[in-house]
């Protein structure tokens, strides 16, 4: 299938504004006007509750996962060790993440792309993705900060590829480094709040007072 079409479709897939549509359809609000203002799973958890948050997170993950798998529709040999195939997977996944951050269907104002990014990594190298989940959960359990957990997991991504999962394609390694930088940049406000002690902690138990808006 035409590569340009696949790349365009990956961006369109990422542009599906899950949190915005869920908040508007089932809660009568625009999630971007509440909480942190981000159209992502974390803000959905805080504002709309656990069920809506889980639904948004799963769908956003699937956007990245499916985008990567579009590579199998290309004319490249379907070989996970092929440089061309890996490069295409990275490009498709990256466009899905960009689509999530700057969604065509929601005025180019989306979320931070963490769930979509994770789905992308899961589609390319599931073992690495599970390791990052472990890093995220450990940090979340210790600190209760979702933002800090996301930042830590993103930084762990290139570190794992460099020291444990060696022999990666240069494009994939560069993507991992760029990902860590992107997550840090998109969380600059969270970092400021962390430094001043004003960042909100997540309660791992159900918050009943957030379910009605």
- Which pair of structure tokens corresponds to residue 84? 């061309």
CB of 44 closer than 8 Å to CB of 31: yes
List per-residue pLDDT tens for the chain, 213 residues long. Answer: 688 999 999 999 999 999 999 999 999 999 999 988 989 998 998 899 989 999 999 999 999 999 999 999 887 666 666 788 889 999 999 999 999 999 999 999 999 889 999 999 999 999 999 999 999 999 999 999 988 999 999 999 999 999 999 877 888 899 999 989 988 988 888 899 999 998 888 775 544 444 444
Q: Tokens 């490009």 identify what position?
A: 91
Half-sphere exposure for 115 (CA within 13 Å, toward CB): 27
**Both tokens of residue 104?**
């065509």
Picking from 9, 11, 8, 56, the residue whose alpha carbon sits closest to that of residue 31 is: 56
Write down the domain spans for the chain. 3-107+116-210
Task: Provide the whole-model pTM.
Answer: 0.85
pLDDT given at position 78: 64
Tokens of 132: 């990052």
Residue 203, CB half-sphere, CA atoms under 13 Å: how many?
Answer: 10
Give me the pLDDT at residue 131, please. 97
Diameter over CA atoms, the chain: 52
Give me 114's structure tokens. 């963490």
Angle subtended at Cα 58 by Cα 188 and Cα 69, rounded to the nearest 5 degrees: 95
Predicted local distance difference test score (pLDDT) of residue 2: 85
Which helix H or strand E contains 97, and what residues bound it?
A: helix 83-101
Say if residues 101 and 107 touch (Cβ distance below 8 Å): no
SS3 label, residue 6: helix
pLDDT at 207: 46
Question: Of 77, 97, 99, 98, which Cα lies nearest the Cα of 88?
Answer: 77
Between the CA of residue 205 and those of 31, 41, 78, 194, what are the distances in Å?
21, 16, 44, 22
* CB-CB contact of 95 with 64 (8 Å): no
């Amino acid at each position: 299938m035409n590569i340009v079409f696949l790349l365009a479709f990956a961006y369109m897939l990422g542009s599906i504004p899950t949190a915005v549509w869920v908040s508007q359809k089932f809660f009568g609000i625009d999630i971007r006007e509440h909480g942190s203002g981000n159209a992502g799973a974390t803000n959905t958890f805080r504002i709309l509750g656990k069920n809506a948050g889980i639904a948004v997170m799963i769908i956003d993950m699937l956007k990245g996962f499916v985008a990567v798998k579009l590579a199998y529709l290309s004319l490249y040999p379907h070989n996970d060790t092929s440089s061309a195939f890996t490069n295409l997977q990275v490009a498709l996944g990256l466009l899905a993440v960009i689509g999530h951050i700057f969604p065509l269907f929601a005025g180019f104002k989306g979320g931070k792309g963490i769930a979509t990014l994770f789905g992308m990594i899961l589609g390319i190298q599931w073992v690495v993705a599970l390791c990052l989940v472990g890093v995220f959960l450990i940090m979340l359990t210790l600190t209760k900060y979702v933002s800090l957990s996301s930042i830590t997991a993103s930084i762990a991504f290139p570190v794992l590829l460099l020291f444990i999962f060696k022999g990666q394609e240069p494009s994939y390694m560069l993507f991992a480094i760029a990902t860590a930088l992107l997550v840090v940049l998109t969380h600059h406000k969270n970092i400021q709040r962390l430094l001043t002690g004003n960042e909100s902690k997540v309660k791992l138990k159900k918050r009943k007072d957030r379910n009605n808006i």
